[in-house]
Chains A and B, each alone.
Chain A
Amino acid sequence: MKISIERGTLLKAVSQAQSVVERRNTIPILANVLIEAEGEHVQFRATDLDIEVVDKAIAQVERAGATTVAATTLHEIVRKLPDGALVSLTADAATGRLTVEAGRSNFSLATLPREDFPVMASSEYQSNFSSPAGMLRRLFDKSKFAISTEETRYYLNGVYMHVADGDEGKALRCVATDGHRLARIDADLPAGAADMPGVIVPRKTVGELRKLLDDDEMEIAVSVSETKVRFATPDITLTSKVIDGTFPDYTRVIPQGNTRRLEVDAKEFAQAVDRVATVSSERSRAVKLQLDEDRLVLSVNAPDSGAAEEELAVAYSDERLEIGFNAKYLLEIANQVDRENAVFMFNSSGDPTLMREGSDQSAVYVVMPMRV
């Protein structure tokens, strides 16, 4: 194999691949990226056995072929090369080395045979549809903060993507929860997605997927089966196993009867929460909300380190209420609000609280209060 490729193109392709590679690997080949050159393209493939990413780039292929090389090392080298450089990759079957040359720099890297590289079995997808990158970005960005890290409830370690009955007919819905907070985000159901089985997309996949979604206009090809999910742009294909488990019935969790309504500027609110929480050094910083006629007092009282209080003008006309929350949880949901005011719906100080972005029904957040 012998190819020449522009440094920027190479860097983009390799960095997508190397981020899938696990830092600590017991199987040496999994630390490598598979490079395959043919025709006018070179393909970079990396996997951790749960996720596989294939990144295609245009290159000048002098001699077709394939090899595997340590992903992080290759990435580091390319990253350190000067911008605009032309990089040549040459695999020498006899020595088992890959030579990386750019300008006067020359690197020789150990390789492993391509035959040893595990390629994810292809599977039948029950549902194939296309969705704008911006839409998927919103679905996952707004829900991923609520993904659980708890290993015992592994089925919460991802975003549950499924078809649901939204407020305006069928919707493509993403839900994540860790038992303390929950995010439920809806988007218009793309054509062809109606039969999609519900799948739990693992946390790492959500992170990798995000890198494909920066361009609003880009159409993403989505394929879903009971066991796998695939997201593809013309250049990059991300395939991932889904979490084998049943996502709990989240609909019971979303409170229906909360009547006490608070409307507040989300940004002001988040900043105030952040400020008062500064005095608390405990791991779970509790912020107390005292609500009264159009007035919200946020306070933190940490006996060991200090106290803080801040008042906000809000819209609230129900009876007095005192309720506590983990500052971090409150901040995270307030930060999901882009433009509108945050609308909180409370019941009592012991019941889950609901939050919406203004009058938007397509994003709902639930947060569990804390005893203060």
Chain B
Amino acid sequence: MHALCRDCLSQIAPARRCPHCGSPRIKAHEELFSLSIAHMDCDAFYASVEKRDNPELADKPVVIGGGKRGVVSTACYVARIRGVRSAMPMFQVMKLCPDAVVIKPRMQAYAEVSRQVRAMMDELTPDVEPLSLDEAFMDLGGTQRLHGAPPAVMLARLVKRMKDEIGITGSIGLSHNKFLAKVASDLDKPRGYSVIGKAETSTFLQDKPVRLIWGIGPAAQASLEKAGIRTFADLLRWDRRDLSTRFGSTGERLWHLARGEDRRRVSANAPMKSISNETTFFEDTASTEVLDGHLWRLAEKVSDRAKAKQQAGRVVTLKLKRADHTALTRRLSLRDATQMADVIYRTARDLLDQVGNQGPYRLLGCGISDLVPETQADITGDLLDPLATQRAKAERATDSIRERFGADAIRKGRALR
């Protein structure tokens, strides 16, 4: 049996306390030093950043979210003890926890912290696959000689550094594939460190519900339940062919996951599939003028991101959510892939006009997908819209001004609506 002190990082024999520093935070596991696929998940990320930046909040229930009737995006652990959950409407938060400190998200600050964490992960391995601002997969296979320590030690060191140098905490899941690593990181949050070894994989999974699988939401759960599948044990009873007949490609995946098998690689640059932005309004709106202003700003954001990533999309999507949360999406394939805000906006605007007045809406989103490198984008002009070329030139010029003098240096009047 191997063991590791998560505070002084010494490799020790299993004990209740570390013989070197006396810490009780010991992780012991048979396969501790042979596993190399990890999932790191920051603990209540947005709330942790807020608490770090304002120490007065340390012992208060902090909730990140916003808007008149917004929902919780992150709740700190103090708030979670009181029953606050993410995606909970604000009024309910106030009922459960009247002294909650509600903070509007400061995405820029979070992105900055995320970059610092990412830099630390990049020091461990080139194979870092971020899932969002606050979580990422890492494959530390083959790095032991480079670091002079097994992956398990380097991961403990990563979360220690995150706490000491950045001031936020994270939980580690260590296993032999991505699926199990992600499951593990969630096992004893916050400041967790969980290991699922090859040997105990099947006993571990046996009585767990299938909703543990990423991508199995309420709808998939319901259809699995119809087939009598609730737990991994239920899944194991199914024949491989029957599963794929009944559930298609998901069935094939389920068959493997039931056996704790997941062959997906940790890939540093998993190809992006789409770029999109959306906004929830402070108040529901049906006004075309208001929607139009938002649509332009969203198109501009999508375009900025596409340009930064040197990508362009062939398909433009418009997304609307009505007051009763029913969603509407419309998409259109362009003949020429684009990364231009002007084209994205105009296409999305056409789609919005096609939808007609079905509002009021609470949310508007737009995005591009079917991505191609920017060299293949916006290459043919439109005979019937000769001004498009000029608008494209104007947009490029605007971009270079914004690059030099900041994003707000020049704006379209439309953006102010």
Question: 0/1 per residue, A332-372, Cβ < 8 Å to B?
Answer: 00000000000000000010100000000000001011111
Check: B389 CB closer than 8 A to any chain A CB. Answer: yes
Nearest opposing residue in chain B for A372, CB measure: B379
B residues within 8 A CB of A180?
A: 335, 380, 382-383
Check: B284 CB closer than 8 A to any chain A CB. Answer: no
B residues within 8 A CB of A326?
A: 380
Nearest opposing residue in chain B for A253, CB measure: B383
Check: A284 CB closer than 8 A to any chain B CB. Answer: yes
Check: A118 CB closer than 8 A to any chain B CB. Answer: no
**Which residues A122-157 have CB closer than 8 A to chain B?**
150-153, 156
Question: 0/1 per residue, B199-241, Cβ < 8 Å to A?
Answer: 0000000000000000000000000000000000000000000
Question: Would A368 and B332 be within 8 Å (CB), given that A282-B376, A284-B376 are in contact?
Answer: no
B residues within 8 A CB of A252?
A: 386
Which of A248, A324, A350, A371 is close to B384, meaning CB atoms less than 8 Å apart?
A248
Nearest opposing residue in chain B for A286, CB measure: B379
Check: A181 CB closer than 8 A to any chain B CB. Answer: yes
Check: A177 CB closer than 8 A to any chain B CB. Answer: yes
Contact A368 B335 (CB under 8 A): no
Contact B336 A284 (CB under 8 A): yes
Our count of residue pairs bridging A and B at CB distance below 8 angstroms stands at: 52
B residues within 8 A CB of A368?
A: 380-383
Tell me the minimal C-beta distance from B158 to chain A in angstroms. Answer: 37
Which of A150, A177, A284 is close to B383, meaning CB atoms less than 8 Å apart?
A177
Nearest opposing residue in chain A for B389, CB measure: A350
Check: A179 CB closer than 8 A to any chain B CB. Answer: yes
B residues within 8 A CB of A74?
A: none
Which of A150, A177, A350, A366 is close to B335, meaning CB atoms less than 8 Å apart?
A150
B residues within 8 A CB of A182?
A: 383
Interface range for B: 10 to 19
| Main secondary structure on A side of the interface with B | loop
Nearest opposing residue in chain A for B381, CB measure: A368
Question: 0/1 per residue, B370-384, Cβ < 8 Å to A?
Answer: 000000101111111
Check: B56 CB closer than 8 A to any chain A CB. Answer: no
Contact B383 A350 (CB under 8 A): no
Q: How far is the CA of A253 from the CA of B388 in the complex (A)?
A: 14
Tally of A interface residues using CB under 8 Å: 27
Question: Would A181 and B383 be within 8 Å (CB), given that A150-B335, A152-B332, A284-B336 are in contact?
Answer: yes
Tell me the minimal C-beta distance from B275 to chain A in angstroms. Answer: 19
Contact A253 B384 (CB under 8 A): yes
Contact B335 A369 (CB under 8 A): no
B residues within 8 A CB of A151?
A: 332
Nearest opposing residue in chain A for B388, CB measure: A179
Which of B336, B350, B382 is close to A152, meaning CB atoms less than 8 Å apart?
B350
Tell me the minimal C-beta distance from B74 to chain A in angstroms. Answer: 40
Contact B383 A370 (CB under 8 A): no
Choose among B336, B354, B376, B383 the residue with the greatest number of A CB atoms under 10 Å from its CB: B383
Tell me the minimal C-beta distance from A254 to chain B in angstroms. Answer: 9
Check: B165 CB closer than 8 A to any chain A CB. Answer: no
Check: B164 CB closer than 8 A to any chain A CB. Answer: no
Q: How far is the CA of A150 from the CA of B350 in the complex (A)?
A: 12
Contact A179 B384 (CB under 8 A): yes
Contact B389 A284 (CB under 8 A): no
A residues within 8 A CB of B332?
A: 151-152
B residues within 8 A CB of A177?
A: 383-384
Q: How far is the CA of A152 from the CA of B349 in the complex (A)?
A: 11
A residues within 8 A CB of B347?
A: 152
Tell me the minimal C-beta distance from A243 to chain B in angstroms. Answer: 16
Question: Would A352 and B380 be within 8 Å (CB), given that A152-B350, A180-B335 are in contact?
Answer: no
Nearest opposing residue in chain B for A248, CB measure: B384
Q: How far is the CA of A179 from the CA of B354 in the complex (A)?
A: 21
Check: B324 CB closer than 8 A to any chain A CB. Answer: no
A residues within 8 A CB of B378?
A: 371
What residues make up the interface of A, taking CB atoms closer than 8 Å to B?
150-153, 156, 177-182, 248, 252-253, 282, 284, 286, 324, 326, 350, 352, 366, 368-372
| Closest 9 pairs between A and B when the two form their complex, measured CB to CB | A371-B379, A179-B382, A370-B379, A253-B383, A370-B380, A179-B384, A368-B381, A152-B350, A179-B383
Q: Could you list 16 A-B pairs, sorted by A, with CB under 8 Å?
A: A152-B332, A152-B350, A177-B383, A178-B335, A253-B386, A284-B336, A284-B379, A284-B380, A286-B379, A350-B389, A366-B383, A368-B383, A369-B380, A370-B380, A371-B379, A372-B379
